[in-house]
Amino acid sequence: MLVKRAINPKKGWWDAPGGFLENGEDPVRGLRREMKEELGVSITDVDFLGVYMDTYLHGYKAATLNIIYQAHIGSGAIKPMDDISGFRWFAPRAIPWRRLAFRWLTPALRDWVRLQK
C-alpha cells in the first residue's frame, strides 16, 4: 500500500505510510504509533525489510535513515488523516515508479518486489 501525500514536500506524490520517530522511541513502537496516527489501524506481523538513506528537503535539509518494515493490518478500517489525500494497494507490476515522493522508496520497493517472487 502506498499513500498519496496531501502536504509538501511532494504533495500529490506516492509515499509509504510512516513518519519520524520521537526522541528515544523504539522503531517498531514508532511504526505502530504512526500507523494508528496516519491511517487509524493497528498492525501485526511486523517484518524488517531494510534501511535506506535519503535527504529530506522542506525548508531545511536533513539526512534521513528510513527504517522499513512490512506489516499486516490487524484491526481498524483505513481512515487516512489530513496529511494523506488517499491510499492504494499496488501489485508489484503496477507500482508508480515515476511518481514516488522520495528517492529511498525506489530501492525499498525493489527489495519488497524481490521478496514477493
Domains of the chain in sequence order: 2-106 (3.90.79.10)
Q: For residue 117, what pLDDT band results from cuts at 50, 70 and 90?
A: confident
3-state SS, residue 78: coil
Cell 504533495 sits at which residue? 11
How far is the C-alpha of 95 from the C-alpha of 1, rounded, in Å? 10
Tens-digit pLDDT profile for residues 70-114: 999 999 999 999 999 999 999 999 999 999 999 999 999 999 999
